[in-house]
Structure 1
Amino acid sequence: MRGRKFQDIELIRWIVEKSPVSKHNLSLSGLPEPDFSEMGVEIKPEDQFQVNRNAQDMFLQTLEDVYGFPRENVLLTTGGSEAIFLLSLLAWKRGLKVAVRTPEYQPIFRVPENLGVPVRLVGNWDELDRLLASGSAAFLSNPNNPVGTFLLPGQIEELVSRIKGDAFVYVDEAFLEFKFQKKPESVFFEDDRLVVNGSMTKFYGFSNYRVGWIASSKKNIHDLSILRTSTGISNPAYPLWIAYQALLNRSRFQERALKIIPATRQTLKDFVETEPGLSWEYPSASSYALVHYDLPDPSEELCRKILDSTGVLLGPGSYFGSEKSFRVCITPEPEKFREALESLKSYLSEFRKS
C-alpha cells in the first residue's frame, strides 16, 4: 500500500539550511529577539507559582486591551505555525476546498495540501471570487507575504460576503504591527465566515517563545479548541507571562522597530528603483518585499548563485508561487542591510556583463 504524498515546505527548509552559511541574511521576516530588560520585560519571575496561575488571564486581558479581541473570541496558539495547522485542519474537518491567491506565504497553501485539503492556487481576484461563490474557503496573509501590501477592512468584508455554507476567510495578520499604528487595527469582526490569527514572533522578536492567537466567532473558537486537543490543550505559562509584559511595553518595541524598518525600506526602494531590470510593488507596511527581475535564471537557481557568490540569502519567489522574483526581508540593522545590498548590486552588475 502506497502512502500519501507529502510535499516539502521548501521555504522553511531553505531558510533553516542556508541561514548558517550566509553572511547577510535577508530571508528572516521577523525582528531578532531583543534584550528584554531594555524593553521593560522581566524574564526571571520571583514567584513562579503566581506566573503559572495567572499568566494566561493576564495575557488575554492585555490582548483584549491592545487589539480589541474579546477573550471569548480568542484561542491561544504556540505561534503562527500552529494557527495555520489548526485552520487547515478545520477546513479538512468541514470537507472544504481552499482557494489561495498567489503570491502567498508557502505554508498557507502547503499545510492544507499536506492534510489532504484540495487547494487551488489562482493569480487574480476574479478567479478567487468565482471559487468562493462555489463554496471554497479563502486563505491569505495581510499584509501579503511576500509582497507587503495590505487589504483594507472593507476589502476583507467584501470577500467574507461571498462565502457560502460553512466555509470561511482566513486572514493571517502576523505582520499587522508593522503598520506602526497607535492601536493595531485588525480586520477582525465577529462572524462565522471570518477567522484571523496573530503572533508575537515577527514584530516582538518572540522566535524562542512562540505565542500567538486565533480570533473568530464563538462557534469557530469552540470547533478549533476541540481540534487543538490534537496539538496541546494550552500554552505554557512562562512564554505567556513574557508576552503579557511585552504588550504592556508595546511602545518600546515600536521604538525599536522604527529605528530599523523605515530606514531599510527606503534603502531597498533606492536600490530597486535604480537597479536595471528590477521592479516591485512598494511594501507600505511590512518587514519584506517581493522584487521581480528580468534575468533568465529561475528564482531558486539565482538565489543559490547569489548566496554562493556574495553570502546574501534571499527567499526564492517560486516558493511563494511567483517565479522570476525573490523576497527581501528588511529586518537587519540599517548599516548591515546597506552592505548586503551593495554586495547584491555588485553581483547583479557582473551577472549582466557575463
Structure 2
Amino acid sequence: MEYLAWAKIHDRVRFELTASGVSPAALADFEADALPVELETRGTYGDPRLIDRIAARYHVPAGSVVPVPGASSANFIALAIAIQRGEVVMVEQPVYDPIGRAAAFLELEVVPLRRLPGDSFNVRLEDIEAGLRRGVRAVFLTNLHNPSGQLLTRGAVQQIAAACAAVDAALIIDEVYLDAAHINASQSRWTAAAVADNCIVTNSLTKVYGLGGLRVGWLVANPDYTRRARQVMDLLSVENAAPSSALAIQAFARIEQLEERYRRAYGTGQPVFRQWLKGETLVQGYDSNGALYECVRLPSGMSPDNLNKHLVAKYDTQVTPGSFFGLNDHIRVSIAPPAAELAEGLARISLALRDLL
C-alpha cells in the first residue's frame, strides 16, 4: 500500500507516533477571524495579498510566487514544469513516496540519488554530477530530508544548483520542513529559490504551522517556471479557494504565534526522545535539525513493517515504517505528542524491539 493511503486509513491507536508535523492548529492559535467568510476569488493566479505575504517572508519577488492547493500540488506542478515526458529526473532515495509516484505518473524516467544512513543521509555532489553527465535534466530533493530530518545547508544548495545550471538542469527542493530549522535549530530563514535561478521551491502552511486543512501551498521559481506553473494550474484546480487564502493571510500576519506553537512542541518532545535514545542500546538515531520527527535505525535484520504490526497488535502503538520511503531498516517516529504520551510510546517501542529479537 502506498504511503498516503496508509497514512489516511490505518487504524488509530492509543500511542500514535506517525505524524511528521505539528498537530492541527485552531483558529484561536493565530487569533483568526473566520467571519465574514470570503467567497470571491481575488487576483488571477493567487490572492495578491497572500502572494505579498509569502514573498516578504522569504525575501523573493512577488512575481516568483505561485500559490497552489498544498505542497503536494506544488511538487506535482514542479515536476511537470521542470522537464518533459521521457526525460530523466534524479530523485533522492530514501524519498517521500508520492514524489516518485508523481514522477512516474508524468512519465519521467527516475534515477535514484542515494542518501546513505552510514553517511548521515548526506547528499554527495559527485553523485549528482555523475548523473548530470549521464543526461539527468532535473534533481529533486527535500530539505529538511524526509524521513531523516537532515539539513541541506545554503552552501550545499548553491553547489548543487551550480552543477545543475552548468548543464541547464533544474533543481527542485521541497522545503515544507525547512522552517523548522529556523525555528528550532538557529538557522536563518532562507529559501533555495533565492539562492539560484534554476531552483524551483515548494512549501506550505501544513507541517510546521499546523494548517494542513487550509490546503495552502506555494511554488517559488524564476519567471519562466512560474509562467509554466500557472498554465498547469489552469489544467488542475484553476483557482485557489478564497476562504483558505483569506485565512492564510491572517496566519502570515500572526505567523510568530504559530512558530511558537511549533517551538513548544519541539522543546517538549526533543528531550524526551533524546533521553530514550540515550538509554536504548538496540537502535541508532541521527542529529536533529528542528523537525518534529526522528529517523531510527533498527537492529540488523529487523523489518520495520513487522515491528509496526507488532506494536499495533500488542502495544496499541504505531510508527511509520521506513519501507514507505525505501528505507527497510528504519522507522520514523513523531515527537509531537505530549511528553508523557511520547515517553510511554517510546517505552513500548523498546518492549517491542526486544520481543522481536
Alignment partner, residue 5 of structure 1: none
- Are 1:101 and 1:128, in contact at CA under 8 Å, matched by a contact in 2? no
- Name the residue aligned to 1:176: 178
- Residue identity over aligned pairs, in percent, reads 22
Rounded Cα–Cα distance in structure 2 between residues aligned with 1:145 and 1:53 = 34
Q: Give the aligned partner of residue 58 of structure 1.
A: 49
- TM-score, with structure 1 as normaliser: 0.89
**Distance of 1:183 and 1:155 partners within structure 2:** 15
CA distance in 1, matches of 2:135, 2:328: 29
| Offset from partner CA, 1:217-259 (integer Å, 9 cap, x none) | 0011111111222212221111011111111111111221122
Instruction: Determine the C-alpha separation between the residues in 2 that align with 1:183 and 1:161.
Output: 21
Of residues 62, 73, 90, the one that matches 2:64 is: 73
Which residue of the other structure, out of 8, 11, 23, is the alignment partner of 2:3? 11
Q: Distance in 2 between matches of 1:350 and 1:176?
A: 36
Kindly provide the amino acid, as one letter, of the partner of residue 107 in structure 1: P
SS in 2 for 1:205: coil
Aligned amino acid, residue 134 of structure 1: R
Paired amino acid for 1:249: R
* Structure 2: gaps (5+ residues): 116-123
Tell me the distance in 1 between the aligned counterparts of 2:300 and 2:33. Answer: 50
* Deviation of the 1:165 alpha carbon: 4.4
- Aligned partner of 1:274 among 267, 273, 279: 279
1:99 aligns with 2:104: no
Q: Is the CA contact 1:28–1:329 (under 8 Å) kept in the aligned structure 2?
A: yes
Mapping of 1:1-354 within 5 angstroms?
10-18=2-10, 20-45=11-36, 48=38, 52-53=41-42, 56-91=47-82, 93=84, 95-124=86-115, 125=124, 126-136=126-136, 137-163=138-164, 164-179=166-181, 180=183, 184-189=189-194, 191-352=196-357
> Does the 8 Å contact 2:310/2:352 carry over to 1?
no
Give the aligned partner of residue 119 of structure 2.
none
- CA positional deviation for 1:53: 3.9
Moved more, 95-104 or 169-178: 95-104
Deviation track 1:305-351 (CA, whole Å, cap 9, x = no partner) reads: 22222122211112212111111122222222122112222222333
Distance 1:288 1:240 in 2: 28
> 1:86 is aligned with what amino acid?
I
Structure-1 separation of matches of 2:129 and 2:67: 30
What amino acid sits opposite 2:63 in the alignment? E
Deviations 1:31-86 (A, max 9, x none): 2222212422112226x36x644781221111122221211001111001101111
Task: Give the Cα separation in 2 of the matches to 1:229 and 1:166.
Answer: 26
The residue type equivalent to 1:98 in the other structure is V
Measured in 1, the distance between the counterparts of 2:200 and 2:249 equals 23
The whole-number CA distance in structure 1 between the counterparts of 2:50 and 2:83 is 30
Task: Calculate the aligned-residue CA RMSD, in Å.
Answer: 2.1
More displaced stretch, 297-306 vs 229-238? 297-306
- The separation in 1 between residues aligned to 2:65 and 2:159, in whole angstroms, is 23
Q: Supply the distance in 1 between the matched residues of 2:336 and 2:329 (Cα, whole angstroms).
A: 23
The 2-side partners of 1:257 and 1:87 are apart by 27
In structure 2, distance between residues paired with 1:261 and 1:206: 17
Structure 1 residue identity aligned to 2:262: A
Is the contact between residue 191 and residue 216 of structure 1 (CA under 8 Å) also seen in structure 2? no
More deviation, 126-135/97-106: 126-135
Structure 1, unpaired ranges of 5+: 1-7
Q: How many residues align?
A: 341
Give the deviation of 1:152 after TM superposition.
Answer: 0.8
Aligned partner of residue 152 in structure 2, secondary structure: coil
Give secondary structure in 2 for the equivalent of 1:204.
coil
